Amino acid sequence: MTLGPIELFLIGVALAAAGGELFVRGTVGLAERSGIPPALIAVTVAAFATSSPELVVAIDSARAGVPQIALGNALGANVVNLALVFGLVLLIAPTKLTRASLRRDLPAALALPAATALFSATGVLSRVAALGLATVFVVWLWFTVREMAAHAGDAPPRPRRGGSLWRWVLVALAGVAMLWAAGDAIVAGASMLAERHGWDPFVVGATLVALGTTTPELATMIVSRLKGHDEVGAGTLLGSCMFNGGLIIPVAALITPIPTDLRDVAIPLGAGVVSILVLLSVRGPVAGRTHGALLVGCYLVYLALLAAGR
């Protein structure tokens, strides 16, 4: 029995959700067993873990000769994370935001889209461009880890998670295996759909693939919100966006330089920046339903602009 593109894509989404959950559980378990603060886990370990589907898609699509899917996926995933996922969560219930972290992340959050737009204007994201984006990411990560490590002693001590070290390693590895399988299925299904219907690979990556690979972030945000750990959910989303722009795209471009059209790239980049500005407009420590509606509205406008551009 031969699976069609829709079946492959849906199987990939299911594997991404399950694999991402296992990977998050395993990596966070390893980190918490060492007594690392939750906020630091969120913006680094959990953010990388939930970005793993995008990384797998980036590698697979670049090796398959369609790196535009990787670029569209990474940029589209940022819009899904910041506008759709965050917006839906805020519509359900108000969420606490750490303005200090927003201010810390703002320079890099704006520098990465600006650099991506600048490099895209040349018509290709080259390996040199990839190194430039990765440099911004490494500098942000270094400052973030240093700042959080310096304030680690300010937080009350937390009990370390139980379980043996090998248990969490095996859980994380099981998640990795499922994520790799998910990446193969999502890229295969999306590529078949794009070829069958004549769709632009970039748009497919920015919409269908982005929705599929952000299921771990959605699960993390919902679970952390239900458990009262708003800083974990918000930190994971923001950190994931930094990983997408500063790590995922460079990895794909290092494997295969990515042909770009600034008109297409500008839409997800602009939507991501607008979403960040909406979050920065929050007065006080809590974002509510008004900001949630604005974020969801931003995502709907983003989809309309993508559709209009075809």
Residue 49: per-residue pLDDT: 72
Q: Which two tokens stand for residue 197?
A: 């219907």
Q: Domain 38-151+198-308: which CATH class?
A: mainly alpha
Residue 260: per-residue pLDDT: 92
Where along the chain do its domains lie? 38-151+198-308
298-308: per-residue pLDDT in tens? 999 999 998 88
Residue 60: per-residue pLDDT: 87
Residue 301: per-residue pLDDT: 94
40-76: per-residue pLDDT in tens? 766 777 677 777 778 888 898 899 888 998 899 899 9
148-177: per-residue pLDDT in tens? 777 655 555 555 555 677 888 888 788 878
Residue 220: per-residue pLDDT: 66
Counting as low any pLDDT under 70, the low residues of the chain are 1, 34-39, 41-42, 46, 98-104, 151-163, 219-220, 222-236, 285, 309-310
> Mean pLDDT across the chain, nearest whole number?
81
pTM of the model: 0.79
Residue 23: per-residue pLDDT: 74
